Amino acid sequence: MARSRPHPSSRSSVGTPGAPRADVELRLAIGRDGIGLELAHPVALGCIRVMDVRTTLPGLRFPVDVSGGVNRFRHKRAELQHLRVELDARAIERWAPPRLRGLMGEGAPDVWLRAAPAQTTLGVSDEREVMQVESVAPALAFELHVLAEEDLAVVVSCARGVHLAATPTALAIACVEAMLGRYARRDGAEFTLTSPATALLRALLPDAGARAASARGVRWAIDADLDDRWTLRATREASLAVPTEAAQRAHEAARILHRADDMLVAGDPERARTAYMEALERAPRHPEIVQRIADIDARVPGREEAVLGLMAECTESSGVCPFGVTRSELLARVGRTDAALASFEQAVAAEPSPVLAARLCELAAARAKSPADAERWLDRALAASPRAPAARWARARNRLLLGRTSDALGDVQHLDALSRGDRDRYEVWIRAGKAWQGAGFHAQAASLFERALLHVPDEPEALAGLGAALVETGVATRGTSLLARAFELAAERRQPGSSILLALGRALADHLGDFPAAIARVSAIGREAPEAIVARGLEGRWRARLGDLAGASLAFAIMRDMTSSLSAPAQDDAPSATEDVLGLLEEAAAFENDERQDTLAADGHAAAARRLRPLNIAPREAGDRIPDADLPTAEAVGRWSLGSELEVSAESTEHASRVDDLTRRFQANPDDQAVATELAGLLESLGRSHELLALLSARLDDAAPDERAGLVPRVRATLERLADGAERAGRSEEASLYRSAFEALAR
């Protein structure tokens, strides 16, 4: 048959977004239906492939001159007889991500599809980079159902997910709108592609220089999926296609919920919830409506039990539980661990999306009762999604807990293989080094830090990790040298160095016995640093070992004041910096009792520890209170604190830095009265009453009578402020002790 090459002036921009210019060839078709035009070969348009187009030219009867081929008939208006289109799931997975950029994260997400008759399960996830440690990356899955007539209707249903920025249904609708919005009309969760056959013909035929054929009267049908591929056929005068049961149910639910879904997409979940509740009255215990309500309420603290009750009612009536993802997370949140794990089991077994199934396994592993149980969940996560970085990191850490270092190293090597570039590989190995170091495998941690340095040499964080690991393996001199070098590099590059200083101070004190140098290092850690509280406690410990009792007491008092910024960890939390502070507070209490004979100061440290870990540290008995006649001096009271909220006004950076400098100078020379006076004035102006009381108490030790007469009123005023603050905060027992100390000082 004669063929037509694309006409150079007839290229059409109509078609799938981002589609390349189609090389469309037509040929003349002569058959019993008459004369017409048809595609010479399949044509790709974006993520779809047009396999067959056949048209007829009305009004032509044999005999007719066809010697001119296609060119003779290209300007006549043909009628579409048959159109066949294929959609391949893998092609859609490649086409969709750029169009979904920003919906699940900053970049383009990963997309996964599974084909079913007139239906697909679509998964959208943000895998992020392989150095990701925590399982916080979002994952979404939902169903798309297609109903075919002259138009095509696409319905979103059964949306679910974890770590999402909005409800699953809202995000699912947003994803479909990003892909179809230019070509479809949306009504709630339903998208209608009006006469898609006409749109396809307009995208194809003008590229070959022919008029777009008429598609009036054609109807669509969807063939069963084959090898993750759908075939859609549009045929003139075909009978109506019968939708699947699942598609019909989704269509009915979308009609009931269209108004509420529009409110949800518009960003008004509370109004949408009201509309969903009204819909639930008309369609009682409808699982899709209950799911949408549950997804809204699950994002509001305090509604967990009510949501679980609503789900239970719906489950009782239907005999099945369609709420696996949401229900599992809610049960875990309210502490019903056994029920949550059973629900996770059901949800994972029913979830077709590999990435979402892996996320659910990770969540279940975090609540497993033993490392062995966690291992089984993480194995399932990686079986479902082998590239899931969070599950891979979680299994490596879990294997360290089980002592299986070789297996854990295999997981890290897998992550290294997934990395792109030296910086990514550096991040993988330095995180691995920290994990091994935290588990106590210091010799192996050293080799991991060395591997990180192969990818990015002279990086302060890796040098510090290597130095600390070497110190723990007995190579203290070399390790300390590396820590010092790491801090110098961090300072040169203006990177945070407080954690390096803390590790360096520990190495100097604990392994080289150089307490003065250790004190100098940790005292350089500013108050705003996360390591500042532990640094002050270690400074107190080391000053006590050097015999600087006044400096140790002041350092411990500063540490105690700073603990007000800490919160008590949850009972099942992993050990953290709070545990280090607890040990230092206990040490400070023992120091005040044994070295200073200051029971009230010891009580203050113990009370601060009780606030941070009330289940682990028993409070002192009421009978242990010291009789009024034996109340300690103002010096002892000055170092006492119950870990109350600091009365801190807004501090400028300049004042805070000056306080730290003066504190170090006073600790180095407690006899410098000028420094002590300036420091006391700054502490008073900044409202740091506990530190001020500790400083004034230290000065009372050796004060001459005339100087003591000037200090006592300031101590009493500070005690009065502390008592008033405790009363305002509802700490009546603490306020009473301040008042008692005030009265003892007056005598």
Within-domain flag for 35: yes
Within-domain flag for 319: yes
What CATH number is associated with residue 260? Answer: 1.25.40.10
At residue 137 the predicted structure's pLDDT band, cuts being 50, 70 and 90, is: confident
Within-domain flag for 547: no
| Helices assigned H by DSSP within 419-475 | 421-438, 442-455, 460-472
Say whether both 312 and 374 belong to one domain.
yes
Say whether both 53 and 73 belong to one domain.
yes
Chain CA centroid to CA 259, Å: 32
| pLDDT at residue 626 in the model | 30
Per-residue pLDDT of 373-406, as tens digits, reads 999 999 999 999 998 888 999 999 999 999 999 9
Say whether both 13 and 145 belong to one domain.
no
Say whether both 127 and 175 belong to one domain.
yes
516 vs 70 pLDDT, higher one: 516
Q: What is the mean pLDDT of residues 534-541?
A: 95
Using CA atoms, how far residue 32 sits from 35, 55, 61, 352, in Å, is: 8, 13, 11, 48
Per-residue pLDDT of 728-747, as tens digits, reads 766 666 677 667 777 766 66
Neighbours of 119 (CB within 10 A): 20
Q: Which of 56-60, 118-122, 275-279, 284-288 is the least confident region?
A: 56-60
Per-residue pLDDT of 155-192, as tens digits, reads 999 999 999 999 999 999 999 999 997 889 999 999 99
Q: Which residues pair with 231 in a beta bridge?
A: 86, 223
Say whether both 230 and 249 belong to one domain.
no
Amino acid 743 reads E
Domain boundary among 372, 396, 420: 396
Per-residue pLDDT of 66-122, as tens digits, reads 665 667 677 788 888 889 999 999 999 999 999 999 998 888 999 999 988 889 999
Say whether both 294 and 218 belong to one domain.
no
Within-domain flag for 59: yes
Domain that holds residue 339: 117-186+244-396
Domain boundary among 396, 429, 451: 396
| pLDDT at residue 261 in the model | 97
Per-residue pLDDT of 556-592, as tens digits, reads 999 988 887 776 655 444 445 678 899 999 999 999 9
Per-residue pLDDT of 583-597, as tens digits, reads 999 999 999 999 988
CB of 602 within 8 A of CB of 737?
no
Say whether both 153 and 76 belong to one domain.
no
Q: What is the mean pLDDT of residues 122-148?
A: 81
DSSP 555-622: HHHHHHHHGGG--PPPTTPPP-HHHHHHHHHHHHHHHHHHTS--HHHHHHHHHHHHHH-TTTSPPPPG
Q: What span, in angstroms and rounded, lies between the C-alpha atoms of 501 and 521?
A: 6
Longest dimension (CA), the chain: 132
Within-domain flag for 315: yes
Which of the residue ranges 57-61, 336-340, 728-732 has the most confident prediction, judged by mean pLDDT?
336-340
Q: CA torsion sign, 740 to 728 to 559 to 494?
A: negative
Say whether both 163 and 51 belong to one domain.
no
Q: What span, in angstroms and rounded, lies between the C-alpha atoms of 339 and 327?
A: 10
Within-domain flag for 356: yes
> In the structure encoding, which two tokens stand for residue 127, read together?
């895998």
DSSP 634-648: HHHHHT----PPP--
Per-residue pLDDT of 605-633, as tens digits, reads 888 888 786 544 343 333 333 333 333 33
Structural domain total, the chain:
2
Say whether both 127 and 209 belong to one domain.
no
Question: What pTM value is reported for the model?
Answer: 0.74
Say whether both 182 and 220 belong to one domain.
no
Domain boundary among 176, 208, 236: 236
Q: What span, in angstroms and rounded, lies between the C-alpha atoms of 659 and 204?
A: 77
Say whether both 12 and 44 belong to one domain.
yes
Within-domain flag for 377: yes
Chain CA centroid to CA 370, Å: 24
Within-domain flag for 323: yes
At residue 248 the predicted structure's pLDDT band, cuts being 50, 70 and 90, is: very high
Say whether both 250 and 382 belong to one domain.
yes
Judged against a pLDDT cut of 60, whether residue 368 lies above it is answered with yes
